[in-house]
Each structure stands twice: as structure tokens, then as C-alpha cells.
Amino acid sequence: MIRSVIQGCGSYLPARVVTNADLAKTMDTSDEWIQQRTGICQRHIAAEGEMTSHLALKASERALEHAGLKASDLDLIVLATATPDETFPATATRVQAGLGMTKGAAFDVQAVCAGFVYGLSVADSLIKNGLASTALVIGAETFSRILDWDDRGTCVLFGDGAGAVVLKAEQGAGTTADRGVLANALHSDGRQHDILYVDGGPSSTRTTGFLRMEGKEVFKHAVVNMAAVVGEVLAKAGLETKDIDWLVPHQANKRIIDGTGRKLGLPPERVVVTVDRHANTSAASIPLALDAAVKDGRIKKGDLLLLEGIGGGLAWGASLVRW
């Protein structure tokens, strides 16, 4: 059985760090309010002219180096983003050109904060179906560009960044001891559009628009749907919560992460948290958290990882990966 095995990972954060105290200088907010409600202490913000493709390219170069592979080995790039450089073409093609990759295909997927899990599932399916053999899956965002900086209820929550993994087709035994992606589960519910969306776009207002959110509603859906999709993906693989070595969740809010961990009965020591340093980087948050825990040595070869995320759509999903 063909498995998509993660060969390496990488990430990149823009140089500029904006702390909660920095925000409190220009708007009616406080470090205490933001930390208590979200666990966020700081976020990275892209420089003028620094685009999603630039962050994605740097994360991709680091992932390829970590994997010991070259751009010429790749035949697929799937880039998850809700903040592309341009309406078209796909930002993935910018990364393709930047890396110097000339064969195969590069395209974007749009599932906002669930984007990385969607991208991983798509790449995994293409690999398993023989349409690709070596793939880069990237989550990259410049959410600072779609924030209404006059809306303190949303602008304090997000940051910019990128993370990437390199997948390679390998023959597995077809058991859960195999390395690679073991199972995926994806969902969306378009009826929930109004609780989290951007009020602009090429076909509606012909502007980019700003993020709008009903935070309390999103919170409720997040905890319920996350616990359910985790159960679903574990059942698909025939595994149980106790088998998970690391939960690597979308980093929206410390309280959502804690709530999901509690519902699953996972101790906090087995949950990777970076929301304090990165804030919510949408599609980039899972690969950023993954890279942090791999590079500091917490995640080791053979560990079972549960990746999960939810965002605008609503769209949500989970992937079970043997590292």
C-alpha cells in the first residue's frame, strides 16, 4: 500500500513582532484582555511588500532542506491559503517558480483555517492514486492584510506566517505502524457562512474586504466539531485517543485548544501550543506548530500525530499521521 510519508518540515515567520502591549498603544485593548480570552501574547506581521508567496517560499526551502530533497524532486505543490498574492494565478505557481520546479502541478486550496488539513488530504490522495510522488504541502497566510484594524474584536487574534511539509510516496505494509498519513476526514457546512467570512471579493464587491466574525458562535462550533472529527479519523484508522502521541491543533485560541484536549481526555503535555507566540495564522498554524515541535525534539520518528483544524465556511478536518 502506498503511503505519503512526511520527509521534512519547515516554517517561516516575518521578522516584525507585534506584542499585545504594542497593540494597546494604538487601540482600546490590553495585554490582560487578549491573554485571558485567547492565550495570545504576540504575533508576527509581514513587512510592506512581503507577500504570502514570499513566506511560503522560505518555509518551503527550509522544508526541502530538512527533507534532504531538491525542488527538482517535486512533482506537486499544494498551497493552502485564504490570502493569495493575487486573485489568480494560484500563489502555489509563484512558489513553484521561486523554487525552480519545472515539472508537475502547483495549485492552491482554500479552506481558511482548515486549509492545511485539506491540502494534506488532497496531496495524500493524489500520491495514493499515482498522480504525484513527491509533494510540498504549504500553509501560508498574510491575514494582516484582511484585518479591519479598527475592529479590536478580531484584529488582535491573527498573525502572518507559513509552514510546509514534504511528502513522498513510500510502500507501506498497510498497518497503523506504517509511517505517513494514515487517515483523513474533511467536512464543511456552508450554512454557517455568516459567523466567519470576509466581506469582499472579486465577484462580489471587487475589493479584498475585511474579516468578520461572531466569536462566540465560532467558539461553540469549534470545540464540538473538533472533538467529533478527531473521533472520526481515529475510528477510520482503528485507533484510539490513547494512541495519540501529539495533538497538533489549529492555533486559534488557547481556550479552544484546551477545550478540545479536555473533551478528548488528552493531557496538556501531549498538545502542541504555539498560539501564544504566533497568534492565529489560519492555514499556516498547523505546519508552524508541527515544525516547532519537530525542531525542538518533542516529536520523534514513529510518533502518532493528530492534526486538526476548523475555520471559515465553516470547514474543518483532521489527519492522522505517523511521523
Kindly state the number of chain residues that form the binding site for ligand ACO, as judged by CB under 6 A. 23
Q: Which amino acid is at 70?
A: K
Confirm if 43 and 57 have CB atoms less than 8 A apart.
Answer: no
What's the longest Cα–Cα distance across the chain? 57
Reply yes or no on whether 113 is catalytic: yes
Q: How would you write 91-129 as a 3-class SS string? A: HHHHHHHHHCCCCCEEEEECCHHHHHHHHHHHHHHHHHC
Q: Does 37 bind ligand ACO (CB under 6 A)?
A: yes
Q: Does 153 bind ligand ACO (CB under 6 A)?
A: yes
Q: Which amino acid is at 5?
A: V
End-to-end Cα, the chain, rounded Å: 17
Of positions 219, 237, 263, 298, contacts ligand ACO by CB under 6 A:
219
Which of 44, 66, 250, 278 is flagged as catalytic? 250
248-267 footprint of ligand ACO as x/- string (CB under 6 A): --x-xx--------------
Would you say 167 or 222 has its CB closer to ligand ACO? 222
Of positions 311, 315, 317, 320, contacts ligand ACO by CB under 6 A:
311
Which of 113, 184, 253, 278 is flagged as catalytic? 113
Q: Does 290 bind ligand ACO (CB under 6 A)?
A: no
**Rounded to whole angstroms, how far apart are CA atoms 5 and 9?**
11
Confirm if 266 and 247 have CB atoms less than 8 A apart.
Answer: yes
Cα–Cα nearest to 161, from 283, 247, 71, 316: 283
Q: Please, what is the minimum distance in Å from the beta carbon of residue 189 to ligand ACO?
A: 13
Would you say 133 or 253 has its CB closer to ligand ACO? 253
Q: Which amino acid is at 231?
A: G
Binding site for ligand ACO (CB under 6 A): 29, 33-34, 37-38, 113, 152-153, 156-157, 196, 213, 215-216, 218-219, 222, 250, 252-253, 280, 310-311
Active site residues: 113, 250, 280
